[in-house]
Structure 1
Amino acid sequence: MRATDDAGDELNAEFEVEPDGDHLALVMRSAGGKVAGSPHGRNHQYNEALELLLRRLRELGAVIVSGVVDSATARKLPEEQRSIVDSPIVLAETPDVEALRRRLGRAQGRIGQNPDGNATKLIRLRLQIAGYAADDAVRLAAELAKPSNRGTAPDALALLRSLIGDPITTATGKVNTIVEVTPKRVRVTTEKSPEGQWVGVRDVEGGLAKLYGQGSVLVNVEVLGHRSSFVGAVLLTIPGTTCTLDPVVITLHDTKFPVRIQKFEKLDGIAQVKIRKEQSALRRLLLGGRTTAPCDLCGHDYPGDFLVAAHIKKRSLCTDDERNDLANVAMLACKFGCDSLFESGHVAVNDTGRVLVWFEEGFRGRLHDHLTQLDGRACGAHRTGSHPYFTWHRTNVYRGLP
Structure 2
Amino acid sequence: MNLVLESAGGRAAGADRPRNHQYVPALRLLLTRLRDQQAVLLSALVASTRVSGLSEAERTLVKGPRKLAEVDDIEQLRLEITSAQGRVGLPTGASKEGNNRKRIQLRLDVPGYGLDDAAQLAADLAAPSAVTTGQPVKAYGLPEAKDLLDALIGVEIRTVAGRPNTVLEVRVAHVLVKTDRSPDGQVVDIGEVQRGLDKLAEHGSVRVTVDELGHRSAFVGAVLATLPGARFTGSPAEVTFDEPSGDEVAEDLHFGELDAVAKVKVRTEQAKLRKLLARGATSAVCALCGDQYPLTFLIAAHIKKRAICTDQERRDLLHVAMLACSFGCDSLYELGWVTVDQHGIVQTRSGDSFPEGIFRNRLLHLQGRGCAAHSVDSEPYFAWHRMTVFAPSDSQV
Query: TM-score category by the smaller chain?
Result: 0.3 to 0.5
Q: TM-score, normalised by structure 2?
A: 0.44
Q: TM-score, normalised by structure 1?
A: 0.44
* Structure with the higher helix share, 1 or 2: 2
Higher relative contact order (CA 8 A, sep 6+): 1
